[in-house]
Structure 1
């Protein structure tokens, strides 16, 4: 796995939302598992399937923890999850996808709105959540269809 230099960020060093941070664009501050974090959207665009239709990935059911979901997806053999982890990043969760949509609506980031994007939160053995960033549609999509992924980083704020 490729490591980027920045593993956390001091609150005083956070840029304005929409500005560069940790190899991407700072989206927002949010709380995850009792810790305040900075969400960073990378410019990389991945394309692939979420996983195998009919395969339940027990560790990928969090609606908030995209990093944990992505690790579980990778362990189950998901190519896009493996690629995201190689970037020292993860596939956004349901919550992180909603935060990305809010930032897009505020004009802070740019996301393609001509295709559905995978989120890392699994809905069922057959489907996982995806988001259409044109209008912020959230839907459960069949896992073995190719969709886009915009990886994110989530840095602890010190």
Structure 2
């Protein structure tokens, strides 16, 4: 029997930022599509290419909704996207990556600074965004580049 991930969190039960929540570390509160959410950094670190070079994936271009991007990536065959979803998580979008960097700068989360990380936001058929968590630089690289991906989870706050 598999354990199902927590689906929501009550505002009164939110821990302090930087504390454990839903199998990870609570990074911050943010708004997405009119819903206040808790962004949780999962402990897993994945590695692989973003996806297939030269193929534009419909639904993977959101700057804010990493879960929607990751689902579109997985449907198109992205191995790291499938792995992230199997963890009941997703690859962060550009916005969610910036929120993680802000939490890191405040000493609330720990991120690997040695390699660039994929973000789930696609830039074109040939490239997708990535981030250096050492200094917060965001760039883009070709989709077949081997990069890390640090899954997150986002829970609606009730």
**TM-score when normalising by structure 1:** 0.97
Q: Which residue of the partner structure matches residue 102 of structure 2? A: 102
- Do structure 1's residue 126 and structure 2's residue 143 form an aligned pair? no
2:64 aligns to what SS in structure 1? coil
Q: Which residue of the partner structure matches residue 82 of structure 1? A: 82
Q: Which residue of the partner structure matches residue 46 of structure 1? A: 46
Q: Which residue of the partner structure matches residue 35 of structure 1? A: 35
Q: Using the alignment, how far apart are the partners of 1:39 and 1:4 within structure 2? A: 18
Show CA shifts across 1:7-32 (max 9, x none).
Answer: 00000000000000000000000000
Q: Using the alignment, how far apart are the partners of 2:95 and 2:19 within structure 1? A: 21
Unaligned 5+ runs, structure 2 = none
- Do structure 1's residue 148 and structure 2's residue 148 form an aligned pair? yes
Q: Measure how far apart 1:4 and its partner are.
A: 3.0
Q: Measure how far apart 1:58 and its partner are.
A: 1.3
Stretches (4+) displaced over 2 A: 2-5
Q: Which residue of the partner structure matches residue 16 of structure 1? A: 16
Q: Is the 8 A contact 2:5 2:88 kept in 1?
A: no
Q: Which residue of the partner structure matches residue 73 of structure 1? A: 73
Q: Using the alignment, how far apart are the partners of 2:20 and 2:57 within structure 1? A: 34
Q: Is the 8 A contact 1:3 1:87 kept in 2?
A: no
Give me the CA root mean square deviation.
0.8
Q: Measure how far apart 1:6 and its partner are.
A: 1.1
**TM-score when normalising by structure 2:** 0.97
Unaligned 5+ runs, structure 1 = none
- Do structure 1's residue 136 and structure 2's residue 136 form an aligned pair? yes
